[in-house]
Chain A
Amino acid sequence: MTTTQTGEEAAATQPPHRDRAPRRTGNSLNRQTRSGWLFVTPMLVLLGLFLVLPILMALWVSVSDWSGRGSPFSGNVGFVGPDNYQPLLSEPGLSRQDFMLSLRNTFYYVVGVVPLQTVLALLLAVIVNQRFLKGRTFFRTAFYFPSVVSSVAISLVFLYLFTGTGAVNQALDAVGINGPTWFADSRGLIHLLGNSLGLWNIDSPPSALADHQVLGLSWWDWLAGPSVALSAIMMQVVWTTAGTFMLMFLAALQDLPADVEEAAMVDGATKSNVFRYVTVPHLRPTILLVVTLGVIGTWQVFDQMYVMTQGGPAKTTLTPAYLSYQAAFNQQHWGQGAAIAFLLFALILVLTSAQRWFLRDKDEWARKQALRRQRRRQREEAAA
Chain B
Amino acid sequence: MSIDSSTVQTGYEGTAMTKVAGSPPKGSGQALHTSSGARKVVVYGLLLFFALLYLYPFVVQLVTAFKTNPDAVAHPLTLVPRPFTGKALDTLFANDFALWFTNSVVVAVCVTVGRVFFDSLAGYALARLRFPGRSAVFNAVIAVMAVPGVVLLIPKFLVLNYLSMYNTYPALIVPLIADAAGVFIMKQFFESIPASVEEAARIDGASTFRIFWSVVLPMSKPALITLTILSFQASWNELGHMIIATNNPDLYTLTRGVAGLTSGSLGAGNQFPIKMAAALLMTIPVAMVFVVFQRFFTQGANAGAEKG
Q: By the criterion CB–CB under 8 Å, are B21 and A345 in contact?
A: no
Contact A51 to B294, CB < 8 A, known contacts A43-B183, A160-B64: no
Residues of A within 8 A of B10 (CB): 285, 288-289, 364
A sample of 17 cross-chain residue pairs with beta-carbon separation below 8 angstroms, ordered by A number, consists of A4-B9, A37-B133, A57-B159, A148-B237, A149-B286, A151-B239, A156-B275, A251-B15, A256-B27, A257-B27, A261-B28, A262-B30, A296-B148, A300-B149, A321-B153, A325-B243, A338-B154
- With A1-B5, A251-B19, A258-B27: A130-B43 Cβ-Cβ less than 8 Å: yes
Q: Mark B132-174, 1 if CB is under 8 A from A, else 0.
A: 1111011111101011111111111111001100000000001
Asked if A244 is an interface residue, CB under 8 A from chain B, the answer is yes
Chain B residues whose C-beta falls within 8 Å of the C-beta of A329 in the assembled complex: 157, 243-244
Q: A4-B8, A8-B138, A239-B53 are in contact. Are A167 and B131 (CB under 8 A)?
A: no
Contact B31 A258 (CB under 8 A): yes
Check A152/B151 contact, CB under 8 A, given A157-B61, A163-B270: no
Residues of chain B within 8 A (CB-CB) of A12 are: 130, 132, 134-135
Give the docked Cα–Cα distance between A292 and B5 (Å). 13
Whether B118 contacts A153 by the Cβ 8 Å rule is no
B259-299 to A contact mask, C-beta < 8 Å, 1/0: 10110000000101001101110110011001000100110
Of A212-220, A303-311, A376-384, the segment with at least 4 beta carbons within 8 Å of chain B is A303-311
Tell me the interface secondary structure of chain B in the complex: helix
User: A255 contacts B208, CB within 8 Å?
Assistant: no
Let me know if B22 is at the binding interface, CB within 8 A.
yes
> With A149-B286, A167-B60, A239-B54 known to touch, is A247 a contact of B298 (CB < 8 Å)?
yes
Interface size class of B (residues with CB under 8 A): 35 or more
What 11 additional pairs, Cβ within 8 angstroms, besides A132-B40, A349-B146? Answer: A4-B8, A36-B125, A43-B119, A47-B144, A49-B163, A52-B144, A61-B154, A150-B283, A160-B272, A161-B57, A254-B28
Query: B122 contacts which chain A residues (CB < 8 A)?
Result: 39-40, 42-44
Q: Which of A157, A165, A286 contacts B73 (CB 8 A)?
A: A165
Complex: chain A residue closest to B19, CB-CB: A251
Q: Does B226 contact A (CB under 8 A)?
A: no
List residues 262-317 of chain A with CB under 8 A from any CB of chain B: 262, 265, 274, 279, 285-286, 288-289, 292-293, 296, 299-300, 302-303, 306-308
Interface stretch, picked from A27-35, A109-117, A189-197, A201-209, is A27-35
With a cutoff of 8 Å between Cβ atoms, the chain A residues found around residue B43 in the complex are: 127, 130, 133
With known contacts A39-B125, A157-B57, A253-B25, A258–B239 Cβ distance under 8 A: no
Q: A32-B129, A72-B162, A344-B148 are in contact. Are A156 and B305 (CB under 8 A)?
A: no
The residue from A51, A52, A58, A154 contacting B158, defined by CB atoms under 8 A apart = A58
Residues of B in contact with A (beta carbons under 8 Å apart): 1-3, 5-12, 15-16, 19, 21-23, 25-33, 35, 40, 43-44, 46-47, 50-51, 53-55, 57-58, 60-61, 64, 72-73, 76-77, 118-119, 121-122, 124-126, 129-135, 137-142, 144, 146-159, 162-163, 174-175, 177-180, 183, 207-209, 212, 233, 236-237, 239-240, 243-244, 254-255, 258-259, 261-262, 270, 272, 275-276, 278-280, 282-283, 286-287, 290, 294, 297-298, 301-302, 304-305, 308
Is A356's CB under 8 angstroms from B3's CB? yes
CB distance A166 to B31 under 8 Å? no
Q: Are B21 and A143 in contact (CB under 8 A)?
A: no
- Verify B131–A36 contact, CB threshold 8 A: yes
Total A-B pairs, Cβ < 8 A: 373
* A167 to B78 alpha-carbon distance, docked (Å): 9
CB distance from B277 to the nearest CB of A (A): 10
Q: How far is the CA of A352 from the CA of B259 in the complex (A)?
A: 31
Q: Is A97 an interface residue (CB 8 A)?
A: no
> A-side binding surface: helix, strand, loop or mixed?
helix
A197 vs B103: C-alpha distance in the bound complex, in angstroms? 54
Find the residue from A144, A148, A352 having the highest chain B CB count within 10 A. Answer: A148
The reply to whether A161 and B60 form a contact with Cβ atoms under 8 Å apart is yes
Decide if A356 touches B6 in the complex (CB within 8 Å). Answer: yes
Contact assessment for B31 and A46 in the assembled complex, using a CB-CB cutoff below 8 Å: no
Complex: chain B residue closest to A236, CB-CB: B57
List, in ascending order, chain A residues with CB within 8 A of B283's CB: 149-150, 153
Closest 10 CB pairs of A and B: A54-B155, A36-B131, A131-B29, A258-B30, A8-B135, A39-B125, A58-B155, A153-B279, A46-B178, A36-B129
- Return chain B residues, CB-CB under 8 Å to A133: 43-44, 47
Nearest CB in chain A: distance from B172 CB, A: 12
Complex alpha-carbon distance, A318 and B290, angstroms: 33
| B178 and A353 contact, CB distance less than 8 A | no
Quote the shortest CB–CB distance from B204 to chain A (angstroms): 14
Contact B151–A40 (Cβ < 8 Å): no
Residue of B1, B9, B11, B208 near A35 (CB, 8 A) is B208
Complex Cα distance, B76 from A171, in Å, reads 10
How far is A148 from B3 in the complex, measured between Cα atoms in Å?
24
Q: How far is the CA of A342 from the CA of B262 in the complex (A)?
A: 30
